[in-house]
Structure 1
Amino acid sequence: MLHAALYGGEDQAVILTYAWDRLLVDPIPGPRRADNFTGLEPLTRSVWTVPATAQPIPPAGSTLPRLAAALPHTFALLDPHHGAEGIARQMEELVEHLAPTSIDLLDVGGDVLAQGDEPTLKSPLADALTLAACCQVNAPIRLLVAGPGLDGEISPDVLRPLLGPLVHTFTSKDVEAISTVLEWHPSEATAMLAATARGVRGICEVRDASLPVPLTDEGPTVHEVDLDDAVSRNNLARAIMTTAALDEAEAYSREICGFSEIDYERNKATWLTGQPPTKLEPDDILTRLDKYQREARTRGVTHTTFRRITEALNLSGSQREELRQLLISRPEQYAAPLWRIPTED
């Protein structure tokens, strides 16, 4: 969406991104590395592209091959297992190999601007690693924040004075380029970004923690933020600047933020392993959905994500698509790609 809006649809982009799909897609905690896949193709000495024919090696899971099949861009694997120094090395190699006309670091939600002590912060490590790496690269990099507050980790009120110039406001026309991807991809932040671009407003409940996220006119905006200012604010990014291993960066996260998001995934994965499988029976699911919706209404919720419904109904990530197909048989509640909570039964 960003590439099409800012640069037009003619030239393709190289999208360097994590294979870190969390437990809804990947039952293994933490991010994946190149040796978790078959069919990757070398681009530089330490950078591998993920073509549509690549496959994660079971039990690992990843949405990247399917994204590569759906979109015209080149996807390359961001590997944090060698710390911020390893990511910086990957980016330096790409700059030398591709000689790009522009480099944008995009964060949806704005938690890249977290100080590290915010009580609502859930996943600071992925953003801090990338931010720490980018400020070490000998090339101009523009930091962009899309959908301020849409990840539910930093409130829009906190982010507003930290944002720089408005770069773009997404519209429903921008969303059409990825509309087929939104039908299956589990990213909640992207779903809410697309929904606000289509005009959806209200309160969206997300994640297993039932976080309420306001859907406002700020949702579809993209702002530039000074990269050095972001690093000065992000205590974790500064601390992990010279890390050469993910374990080392994770230790800093525990020290500075009081937790590691990978520890949370480890604990949740252990809990999920002990849960008996739940069969998806349509009548039972719809009854439980109605109960969830009644409870959500009392919290002021107007919309939710299919990920949130999957977890609220105690279903596994592998059942998310089957659940979605069942629910969109109620098209009056499908505010694509979100699910609208009815005002009354």
Structure 2
Amino acid sequence: MTRLIVAAGGGGDAVAAAMLHAALYGDEDHAVILTYAWDRLLVDPVPGPRGPDSFAGLEPVTRSVWSVPAEARPIAPAGSTLPRLAAELPHTFALLDPHHGAVGITRQLEEMAHRLAPSSIDLLDVGGDILARGDEPTLKSPLADALTLAACCQVNAPIRLLVAGPGLDGEVPPDELRPLFGSLVHVFTAKDVEAIGPVLEWHPSEATAMLAATARGVRGICEVRDANLPVGLTDEGATAHEVDLDDAIGRNRLARAITATTSLDEAEAYSREVCGFSEIDYERGKAARLTGQPSTKLEPDDVLTRLDRFQSEARARGVTHTTFRHITEALHLSGSHRDALRRLLINNRPEQYAAPLWRVPSNG
């Protein structure tokens, strides 16, 4: 038996899909996880999502869908975490290609439903920005989720929408999400995290890292992103809720607007119109800024000194935890330094490692 899980926003949602599968279905069924290759600039220096032509070694699943085996490789300068996920997790990862808009994704989903005849189809979003209206001041990345939502609402197959870790993406406050929640599907525990524990040691996702941390009992305020965004780590963060698909698309104005789009450019234009911005434009601007920055070396003594300064300022903001991705950016290091930075910090101050997060000490 096969379970099909659609990772709404790609990236960390694909990792969370593996944890969801372990929690809900165990070892009974095989999981096929449909996900974007959209890993943001820490991993992929090229703005926007990758299509099949950005990889070597993909394997055909249907006419429009390709799987990403462990042997696949992104073609430089593109980057992707998907081959490593395929190597380390016992699932099939298949590529969602948004370059033909919501119409193209709908076609891919229909082909997969026909090809696999899955026991269930789950659409999973960590955080809940798939339920964004489009005008939230903290909204940062609505396009990927809106595309999958728009497509799933047009597929002739039963699809269950699940929101895990309400508010953990920092985009829509949990208070705005709760009225849309149906049944409580699962409360994640430390046992559930075991399925993805090794992946969390290297994967850059912040929302899924916080989902895992709350499942392990971590509580407090976690600072994320390059904008010092505070996110609450609460009991609610370890939950997954079902949401009616009709209610979701009734709220998500961008998803309704892009239903008939046949290109990513067209969908992106609607994002600018409905939300006032495009997340790919943001990536383009950030990539240009990073390109112009001189390369830096990771000097341990200097890094630890700057870390102390960062932690002091974060503590004054009420922060108790942060992510290694955020520390990397806060210390003005490049994404290529993230793994070395993580090793340096854990080796020097192991008591602050609240896996997979970093604990900010309560005093200097």
Normalised-by-shorter TM-score class: over 0.9
Q: Which runs of 5+ in 1 are unaligned?
A: none
2:79 to 45, 50, 61: 61
Separation (CA, whole Å) in 1 of partners of 2:30 and 2:333: 37
Separation (CA, whole Å) in 2 of partners of 1:102 and 1:162: 22
- Which letter does structure 1 place at the counterpart of 2:205? S
How do residues 229-240 of structure 1 correspond to structure 2 at under 5 angstroms?
229-240=247-258
- Which letter does structure 2 place at the counterpart of 1:158? E
Q: Which runs of 5+ in 2 are unaligned?
A: 1-18
1:337 counterpart residue number: 356
Q: Secondary structure at the match of 2:221?
A: strand
- Which letter does structure 2 place at the counterpart of 1:341? V
> 1:10, CA displacement in angstroms?
3.1
> 1:307, CA displacement in angstroms?
0.2
Q: 1:51-84 deviations in whole A, cap 9, x for unaligned?
A: 0000000110000000000000000000000000
2:176 counterpart residue number: 158
Length, aligned pairs only: 345
Are 2:214 and 1:196 aligned?
yes
2:65 to 47, 65, 86: 47
Separation (CA, whole Å) in 2 of partners of 1:82 and 1:223: 30
- Where has structure 1 moved over 4 Å in runs of 4 or more? none
1:279 counterpart residue number: 297
Q: Secondary structure at the match of 1:184?
A: coil
2:185 to 167, 173, 176: 167
Q: 1:225-257 deviations in whole A, cap 9, x for unaligned?
A: 000110000000000000000000000000000
What's the TM-score, normalizing by structure 1? 0.99
1:178 counterpart residue number: 196
Q: 1:147-166 deviations in whole A, cap 9, x for unaligned?
A: 00000001111111111110
Separation (CA, whole Å) in 2 of partners of 1:343 and 1:277: 33
Separation (CA, whole Å) in 2 of partners of 1:332 and 1:254: 44
2:103 to 66, 85, 97: 85
Q: 1:35-62 deviations in whole A, cap 9, x for unaligned?
A: 0000000000010000000000011000
1:22 counterpart residue number: 40
CA RMSD of aligned residues (A): 0.5
Separation (CA, whole Å) in 2 of partners of 1:175 and 1:146: 13
Separation (CA, whole Å) in 2 of partners of 1:10 and 1:52: 23
Separation (CA, whole Å) in 2 of partners of 1:328 and 1:251: 43
1:313 counterpart residue number: 331
2:27 to 5, 9, 22: 9
- Which letter does structure 2 place at the counterpart of 1:233? R
The share of aligned pairs that are identical, in percent, is: 81
